[in-house]
Structure 1
Amino acid sequence: MISADMTVSVWTGAAERLWGYSADQALHSPAKGLLVSGAPEISRVFAGSPWSGRVRIHRRDGHEATADLQVTPLDADGGAGWLVWGPNMFGRPGLDPAAVNALFHHSPVSLVVWDRELRCTWFNDSVHHQDIYSSQPELGGYVTDVIRARHPECLERAMARVLSDGVPLLGYELWPTEARAPDRYYRVALIRLDEPDGRPVGVCSAAVQAGTGQQVGGLRLLNEAKSRIGTDLDPLVTSQRLAETAVPQLADYVTIDLVEAVPLDKEPLRRLRSTDASIPGFYRAGAASIHDDLRESLWARGTPVYVPPASPFTAVLRNRRSYFEPVLDATPGTWLDNDPDRAQVIRQTGMHSLMIVPLQARGAMLGISVFVRSENPVPFSRADLALAEELAARAALIIDNALRYTRERTAALAIQRALMPHHLSGGSAVELATRYLPADTYACVGGDWFDVIQLSDSRVALVVGDVVGHGINAAVTMGRLRATTRAFSKLELPPAELLRFMDELAVDIARDRCDDGTSAPSAFAATCLYGVYDPKSQRCTMASAGHPPPAIIFPDGSVDFAGVAPGAPIGLGLGFFESTDVELPGSSVIALYSDGLIEMEHDVDRGLQRLRAALAGPISSLDDLCTSVVDTLAPDGPVDDDIALLLARTHPAAG
């Protein structure tokens, strides 16, 4: 065995026969002196990955010899040293009992040799100083009987895999079930032992104490939390990911309980029934366990969680400080006397260690996170509590952002639905069908709208618009622009002139909102298309303020886009728009839409061609066509922007 400082630390009888040096002569000597000059570079042989090959060695008698050796690091980077072995060191098929018996007895690294049935055939003295082994390991003992670590069956499967495929397993981590020091863990290398003909005869396991696992495991857990938590603006999803991240690395069972209803359409907690012994304290937002059936949980996700009025749960909520009970006392006379159902679950599942950590962000208490150990026999430590508090602090900010976002989106949707038209009529001039789909939870509600306004002489105005931006401000702006459009339409203005007045009004409104009195037209920027259809002339006069062109489905089924000059968006103050007349034979269909329908792939030209194809073909009904267009262009629904679609089939005037 070669130590980390590149000197010989263990010298066996087999090594003595190969090199000719006694243990006294070889121990603590530089390992480089064992190889002939010109042999593979020492840095290549003793690196952080397994190496095997034929080398030229220096023998004590002054001669050189050839040896086929395998060099395996005892941890992932070679920091614990290297194991040097090979068929030359035994001289005949199988394991040399004398050589094995002399192997590593004075090494700080514990070494155990297992046969093909994973039964112990030899171990060195170091196993008595490492608490991952039984106090009295026996030769012939099966691996799960000799190893006293968490989840020994996982080690059993790993050893069987190494025995099967011959690929060494490095850096395997084992945590003792009864550690002599809190959070101690070991790194293990598993190496297959082969006969000269390549037939496996066993597995060698080398274990070295790696120090405190909390630091390494804690950093790994925090990194995992950073990558998993915060990728979604749904409070339930974020809470569930926090719970799943902490299991089983930190706890066997984790719950995330929030103080307000999630999602927001649930009954407020204060309205739920309470008793002297139980009150609705939280809503369960997340739960994870080492058991798939969540046998520890009394409450399902999304349901209210009832707790005693005087309990650690309410105390954490009130005091905003963590509750730490490393050895959970479930005997009579504790707070569990007032919570018999929870006490029964604790006894049935073997819960023995408890941490309750507050979820707070920006001065607000959002809820609590509960960490429990049951099958893991090691009680929580103060380091575990610090790690849980760090996880909870990170998650609380994300949950708070998600809650704020959910509230704003709910409010924006409510405003938008209130301001959108609930009943549209085209009179005798046009037949109508519409669709409106708000963006999903990954984006915020926009300011898309459409409208149909009846004018004099059976004419009808068709409008579609899109406010720049998202959220409540966009929804409110949409409502103001829709009201403005309706008001100006009553003046019977040509479309281009109506858009010019809307542009001026938007600039005035934006200027009034600025404290310094300067113009900020971009605050109210919006695109809009306004058209007036006259059934007598079968002509539609249109003007556009930066909006995508309307599509026309002609009676023969052909589809084309109206050549309407786009103009500048409303609110920029440019004030120049141009009207365009489009001849529409009877039963033509005008399709007005917002850009969310054609920008699903962020390619407008491709989106327009896809829209043309979706509108082509026989039309059974306008409503069916609406459904077909949306399903074709946005099969999974809108993601980044709202979708508005208005179809109007023209009818010429009678007589």
Structure 2
Amino acid sequence: MGSSPEEARDQSVSFDDIVTAVLDDRGTVRHWSRAAADLLAYTAEEVCGSPVTDLLADPADGRCEDRHRPTGIPSAGRALLRHRSGRPVEVAFRAVPTEDASHNVVLAVPARSVTAGGQDTALVRALFAQNQIEIGVHGLDLRTLRTNLIRKTPGRPALLGGRLREMLSPQDAEEAESALRRVLATGVPLIGWVQRGRAPQVADRQWSLSAFRLEDPPGRPTGVATLLTPLTAKERDRHHLYLLHQASVRVGRTLDVLRTAEDLAEFLVPALGDVTWVELADAVFDGDEPPKLTGAGLWYLRRAALATATGCVPDALLQPGMTVPPMPDPAPPILHRLRRGETVLASGPEAREQLGPELASLFVPDRGHSVLYSPLFARGLVLGVVVVWRTEQPEPFVDEDRELLAEIASRAALSVDNARRYTREHRAAVALQQRLLPRTTTDTAAVEAAGSYVPAGGGAGIGGDWFDVIPLSSLRVALVVGDVVGHGLHAAATMGRLRTAVQTLADLELAPDELLTHVDDLVQKLADEADPAQRDVVGATCLYAVYDPVTSRCAVASAGHPPPVLVRPDATAEVIDVVPGPPLGVGGMPFEVTSLCLEPGSVLALYTDGLVTSGEQDGPVQASRLADRLAALCDRSGSASLEVIGQALLSEATHVPSRDDVALLLARTKALADGSTNAWEFPDDPAVVPRARKAVTAQLAEWNLEQLTFTTELIVSELVTNAIRHAGGPITLRLIRDNVLICEVSDPSNTQPRLRRARWADEGGRGLYLVAQLTTRWGSRYSHNGKTIWTEQPLVPSV
């Protein structure tokens, strides 16, 4: 066995790699450990009792003697052993004699382990000897177990037992320790994280932090090692590019002016300073262009955002939302340079001197020793200013920091201006859409109604959804909900045209299916007028319902629209089975009318598909859930207004901003009291006119409306006479009393009556003129059985 004591000196070996054997004074193996059996694949029974030289790959090596060991067993060295498979296994060994020198305990390890252990030791020794790398070994609680800072900073307080926060700036310490805990938990190393050092322990301003987990042989974490290396000029440039990239990613993610300013302030702390604020011109918040900045005095700025490294906003500073007070006159030099578009670097005392004692308390934070001012200049407009202070970081700003802030502010200004322009356009679009929509609440003799509209994206977008409540003749009312395809101004403009068309056609007293047919023709014309590339996206859906409080009947027709939901007075709900026709603009298909009877106090819900297609389930399932939820709200709210119920329903359905806008119309039905109507039928005979007048006079007396007798008799005489003369019989006369007195005369003719001016020599033609003068409203409507002429009079005659 060869001897090489120099090679075996100072070698680090793991105890798990050591094999043992016991030899007598003649070199015979007496004991053989399990680790030795694993190393050479020979069992103890096979080895014990045999000379150790039988295990050598080259038996000649066994004749080498150590002059200090007459037994021929050297005290230390290397040997080439033979594995059962025949391959050689090199080991490094040390022989230790027993007290009576009759036996030797041989400790051996594979030579590769000795070499690797020596290299590991040399590497660790070299790392801890470096002057430009700060090494730290931290335990599971992140307390420092070993560091080379002690050797390099004599006279300083010992860092052993301390935390990493003592080596880093306060604003980075929590984040850094969180990152180290992630390294301990996951084993994923942290590479090249830029941090700011804190004097006096660390001399340079910026350092790169790397960390990796330490493990024991079974793989259990025992701690974490950290390496802090100073940034070179090239690395600082790379870090500045990284900050510019991060600024472009984090600033300008939204088209909200205030949120953009807040993102900018939150990014600059702690990336560049300790206290940051952004001030914008008042006009920018409303989407308008800021005024020109000339002279001192008012700057028309308002503080939009303020961020600090500690998260606490000092009370002495100007708070977010507050207006910037007038500047001193003459204007400070810093102000002049900002107006010229320069980014200004100044010291704390310099800023205090230029602002004066009163303004300094609002604009200079405690311990503020260095400051950067940069204008937010974009497209020829000074939108505001961004200010960065250093209070905790001891290093003052340098020109590289000024150039960096100038570049960040330049890019951020474009984001602020984009948000400003979007605010202006969006405000105009929303104003247009709001003008196109009706009042949110309506109360008529037929229904009490409340409508709601929620734009797409929680208010960020506009669309073509609309609702409407249209009063019709004889106290009837039309309920309308529609949804134009697409979003934006085009959809809002199309919605306005369709709503106007529906109102106009509703005044013609058309049946729901006939009305939708006419609107369908209009949508087809709009598609023909549109650009060829946009024709496929011109379309709409619509639901049109007419409710009559006299009969409590409701007629509904749908053009590809979701069915309405009905909640009865007993809080039971159902989705009305309406036969859906094709969407508007398809053409060639008829629409069907569904008729149903509604009890007084029933709630009818009309809505657009944005309310029932926001989840993963399909429309019918969502509509059923909507019915259940609406029933629960109506039952729980009792006498609560429909507006409150609608807001609760929409807040639950749109708690996450929807990609589609939502319109909701809730209508609670009413019915006329018993005895509020009366009707008579007369044959086609001029002699029935006095009978009609007499019947009306008696009914008005029963209702205590004798003051209306004279005018009502004249109206009935003219209408009944015209019906007998031009239409034939039978003739139906009906009176309806509510907040107005309604008189209806129906005949089987479809001839349209018209008002004309009679000449002085004409014997007729003045009847409808008299009717128009004696009533507040009058008109005609058609049905399958003919037409009806109706009039309205106030219950109290005008003097």
Q: How does 1:5-404 map to 2 (within 5 A)?
A: 16-18=9-11, 64-65=110-111, 84-85=120-121, 105=129, 109=133, 127=152, 137=155, 150-151=169-170, 154=173, 175-177=196-198, 184-187=206-209, 207-212=228-233, 213-261=235-283, 263-264=285-286, 278-295=297-314, 298-306=317-325, 308=327, 310-311=331-332, 314-315=335-336, 318-319=339-340, 321-325=341-345, 327-328=346-347, 330-331=349-350, 336-344=353-361, 349-404=366-421
Distance 1:467 1:401, change over 3 A: farther
CA apart distance, 1:322 = 3.3
Structure 1 position 418 matched with structure 2 position 457: no
1:637-648 aligned within 5 A: 637=654, 639-640=657-658, 641-648=661-668
Find the aligned partners of 1:121 and 1:614 in 2 and give their Cα distance. Answer: 65
Match of 1:434 among 425, 428, 450: 450
In 2, Cα distance between the equivalents of 1:630 and 1:354? 48
- Partner letter of residue 551 of structure 1? V
- Residue of structure 1 equivalent to 2:558: 544
Q: Against the structure 1 CA distance between its residues 177 and 281, is the aligned structure 2 distance closer, same or farther, given a 3 Å change threshold?
A: farther
1:32 counterpart residue number:
none
SS in 1 for 2:556: strand
Q: Tell me the CA shift for residue 288 of structure 1.
A: 0.7
**CA-to-aligned-CA distance 1:235-286 (integer Å, 9 cap, x gap):** 21221122111111211121111123464399x9879xx9986423422111
Q: Secondary structure at the match of 2:318?
A: coil
Per the TM alignment, residue 469 of structure 1 is displaced from its structure 2 partner at its CA by 3.2
What SS is found at the alignment partner of 1:246? helix
Q: Deviation at 1:158?
A: 5.7
What amino acid is aligned across from residue 260 of structure 2 in structure 1? T
Shift in CA distance, 288/556, structure 1 to aligned 2, threshold 3 Å: closer
User: Distance between the aligned counterparts of 1:155 and 1:447, measured in 2?
Assistant: 49
What is aligned with 1:553? 567
Residue 480 (structure 1) aligned with residue 497 (structure 2) = yes
How has the CA–CA distance of structure 1 residues 496 and 330 changed in structure 2, closer, same or farther, with 3 Å as cutoff?
same
In structure 2, the gaps of 5 or more residues are: 1-5, 14-38, 40-88, 95-107, 676-799
Counterpart in the other structure of 2:583: 569
Deviations 1:78-107 (A, max 9, x none): xxxx99349xx9xxxxxxxxx98x985477
After TM superposition, give the deviation of residue 584 of structure 1 in Å: 0.7
Taking the aligned partners of 2:188 and 2:523, their CA distance within structure 1 comes to 71
Q: SS of 2:394's equivalent?
A: coil
Question: Which secondary structure does the structure 1 equivalent of 2:383 belong to?
Answer: strand
Deviation at 1:590, TM superposition (A): 2.6
- Work out which of the two has the higher radius of gyration on C-alpha atoms and give 1 or 2: 2
Q: Distance in 2 between matches of 1:446 and 1:222?
A: 36
Identity %: 31
| CA drift at 1:150 | 3.7
> What displacement does 1:112 show?
7.5
Secondary structure, counterpart of 2:424 in structure 1? helix
Amino acid at match of 1:605: P
Partner deviation per Cα, 1:567-592 (whole Å, 9 max, x = no partner) = 3333x252644131312143244322
Q: Is 2:592 aligned against 1:579?
A: yes
Correspondence for 1:48? none
| Letter in structure 1 aligned against 2:259 | V
* SS in structure 1 at match of 2:417: helix
Shift of the 453–606 alpha-carbon distance from structure 1 to 2, 3 Å rule, reads: same
Query: Which residue pairs with 1:44 in the alignment?
Result: none
Contact 1:173 1:187 in 2 (8 A): yes
1:427 to 1:353, Cα distance in 2 relative to 1, 3 A: closer
- Report deviation, 1:622: 7.2
Partner deviation per Cα, 1:531-572 (whole Å, 9 max, x = no partner): 2223455432222222211223345654333333333333x2
SS of the residue 2:260 aligns to? helix
Q: Of residues 525, 538, 543 in structure 1, which corresponds to 2:539? A: 525
Secondary structure (helix, strand or coil) at the match of 2:625 reads helix
Q: Deviation per CA, 1:360-383, whole angstroms, max 9, x where unpaired?
A: 445544322222222212233343
Shift of 1:404: 2.8
Distance 1:426 1:304, change over 3 A: closer
Per-residue displacement from partner, 1:322-366 (whole Å, max 9, x unpaired)?
Answer: 3231x52634xx794344334456776232333223324455443
1:445 aligned partner: 462
User: Is contact 1:544–1:567 with CA below 8 Å preserved after alignment?
Assistant: yes
Taking a change above 3 Å as real, the CA distance of residues 19 and 411 of structure 1, as seen in their structure-2 partners, is closer
Equivalent-residue separation in structure 1 for 2:113 and 2:344 (angstroms): 59
Report how far residue 441 of structure 1 moved: 4.4
Alpha-carbon distance change, 535 to 632 in structure 1, aligned in 2, over 3 angstroms = closer
| Residue in structure 1 matched with residue 749 of structure 2 by the alignment | none
Q: Distance in 2 between matches of 1:174 and 1:119?
A: 21
C-alpha distance in 1 between matches for 2:119 and 2:412: 44
In structure 2, what is the equivalent of residue 43 of structure 1? none
5+ residue gaps, structure 1, are 1-12, 21-37, 39-55, 72-81, 90-98, 128-133
Are the equivalent residues in 1 in contact too, given 2:646–2:666 (CA < 8 A)? Answer: no
Cα separation, 1, equivalents of 2:240 and 2:314: 27
- AA aligned to 1:84 is D
Larger deviation: 368-377 or 561-570? 561-570
Instruction: Assess, with a 3 A threshold, how the Cα gap between structure 1 residues 554 and 349 changes in structure 2: closer, same or farther.
Output: closer
Q: 1:612 maps to what in 2?
A: 627
- AA in 1 matched with 2:10: R
Task: Give me the whole-angstrom Cα distance separating, in 2, the residues matched to 1:145 and 1:615.
Answer: 58
CA RMSD, 1 decimal: 5.2
Q: Which residue identity lines up with residue 278 of structure 2 in the other structure?
A: I
Match of 1:505 among 516, 522, 546: 522
Distance 1:364 1:343, change over 3 A: closer
Q: Contact 1:432–1:649 (CA<8 Å) still a contact in 2? A: yes
CA distance in structure 1 between the aligned counterparts of 2:143 and 2:135, rounded to whole angstroms: 17
Cα distance, 1:414 vs structure 2: 2.7
Aligned to 2:473: 456
Structure 2 CA distance for aligned equivalents of residues 608 and 236 of structure 1: 38
Distance 1:354 1:211, change over 3 A: same
**Normalised by the size of structure 1, how large is the TM-score?**
0.69
1:248 aligned counterpart, secondary structure: helix
Give the Cα–Cα distance (whole angstroms) in 2 for the partners of residues 68 and 633 of structure 1.
Answer: 74
